Amino acid sequence: MEPKFTKSKSSSPKSPTSPLPREDFTEAVVDDPPKFDLESYLSNYEGRTRFTRLYFIGTRSSYLATEALKLALVEARSGKDVKNYQKALEALVKVAPSETDTTLDKIWVEQTLKSVKADTDRLEHELKGYKNNLIKESIRMGNEDLGYHYHQIGDLSAASKAYSRMRDYCTTTSHVASMLFKNINVAVDRGDWLAVQSNVYRLRNLQFKPEDETKNKAKMWASLGLSQLATGAYFDAAMSFVSTDPNLGDNYKEIISANDIAVYGGLCAMASMDRSDLVSYVLENKSFRNFLELEPHIRRAVSYFCSSKFRPCLEILESYRSDYLLDIYLHNHVHDLYSQIRTKAILQYIVPYNRIALRSMANVFSPKDIMTRTQRVTEICSTFLLELLTLIQEGILDAQVDLERDVLISRQKTIRYGNHQAALDSLCDYMDTAHLHLVHLNILHAGLDVPDIQQSL
């Protein structure tokens, strides 16, 4: 199913023009150990994103810092980006100065820089020759080779320009699609989400070959969903991710994995969709079900949410918070996504009740307060009470707190009350109309009606 491009239901999208800084990630250390194995996690990716993810984990996780940065050094040395190598080495020196492999390999740096310069000069010279010969296919391939080279050495701006120059020399639809996907890959690495969306919309207008259509559309929806997630459009992101064909598989490992599709799609859906949409778009979606099988805890969390079992749902999400805080695309949105899911759960929990004991609510949404505190939940220092008061003050929760009786009193009218009132009003209208008809019939039967003067004349 292809999503309709509508405005996000429950999020305020951020500007897609501000790039995600790759070097200066948010300085927030994650102390809890993640659930994933670093080697297994890394096997889901290839290309530059492997180093980016390793460096991010190494600078954010106190538990995996040394291991991740060592692997980042190995990854950097296997490529041609000297800046990545120097950056990873500086981070490793700060984290583990006593490690043996924290000395700058000047010989490798010098040799790599010479090799990079030689390759750059050669590729530019070859491209110049192709332009002189006016052979379109050779010019296209020359720009493609040059763009790939710039991408590998970390000159993303030059890579984007080289790939964009291919446009005038593309003669087939497959050439255009290849050029657009290469531009998307560079734009993702740059964090230029506006460019990602622009190239995706161009891809939508192409007629792919039958053998390439499924794979290309899957990559298209995955990259679009990633850009929508990055800009805070969670509903749109969820629709894009749940529309991604499972044939994506390992075909987009340079950007995103199938496991990421399941996690991003599930979290965005829970944060932005109501329960009926969650059932139809997520749980009963045969295509997306293939992704959920890779991350069964996301499927369980969605199922618990739809079944109003909010405590196990929130416990599952909380147990994976550390993993998501170490994700290069998800970490900035974990707080917002979790807050929206939690708020939706609280609102849904109180729907059947006019009043509900705060302790029973705290047992579901803040069990740690119940287990660690002997005081009343309604004490002003209770984090759960402060959370409820904040929701009330912001107009999200239409209720009031009775501190004396330790209850939450809902002020919202139930749907049943509205339906009953509408039925009674309809009954009264029917009785009034029937009474007027009977009076009119009795008047006619008694001959007391007044004839129309114009008709009598």
CATH number of the domain enclosing 386: 1.10.10
Q: Tell whether 337 and 356 lie within a shared domain.
A: no
Within a domain: residue 315? yes
Model pLDDT for residues 204-258, shown as the tens digit of each residue = 888 888 888 888 999 999 999 999 999 999 999 999 999 999 988 788 999 999 9
Within a domain: residue 333? yes
Q: Tell whether 364 and 332 lie within a shared domain.
A: no
Taking alpha carbons only, the member of 184, 186, 180 closest to residue 150 is 186
Model pLDDT for residues 406-455, shown as the tens digit of each residue = 788 877 666 666 778 888 889 999 999 999 899 888 888 888 877 766 55
Q: Tell whether 395 and 321 lie within a shared domain.
A: no
Q: Tell whether 287 and 247 lie within a shared domain.
A: yes
Q: Tell whether 214 and 345 lie within a shared domain.
A: yes
Model pLDDT for residues 177-209, shown as the tens digit of each residue = 999 999 999 999 999 999 999 999 999 888 888
Within a domain: residue 57? no
Within a domain: residue 247? yes
Is residue 207 within 8 Å of residue 177, measured between CB atoms? no
Q: Tell whether 391 and 437 lie within a shared domain.
A: no
Letter string b/e over residues 438-455, b meaning 16 or more CB atoms within 10 A of that residue's CB: eeeeeeeeeeeeeeeeee
Its pTM stands at: 0.81
Q: Tell whether 310 and 388 lie within a shared domain.
A: no
Rounded distance between C-alpha atoms, residue 209 and residue 377, angstroms: 62
CATH number at residue 239: 1.25.40.570
Q: Tell whether 240 and 300 lie within a shared domain.
A: yes
Name the domain boundary from 302, 333, 349.
349
Q: Tell whether 362 and 290 lie within a shared domain.
A: no
Q: Tell whether 295 and 362 lie within a shared domain.
A: no
Within a domain: residue 220? yes
Q: Tell whether 219 and 309 lie within a shared domain.
A: yes
Tell me how many domains the chain contains.
3
**Encoding tokens for residue 30?**
């994650």
Model pLDDT for residues 66-120, shown as the tens digit of each residue = 999 999 999 999 999 999 999 999 999 998 888 777 788 899 999 999 999 999 9
Q: How far apart are the first and last CA of the chain?
A: 70
Within a domain: residue 168? no
Q: Tell whether 286 and 381 lie within a shared domain.
A: no
Domain membership of residue 419 as a residue range: 415-456
Average pLDDT over residues 313-333: 94
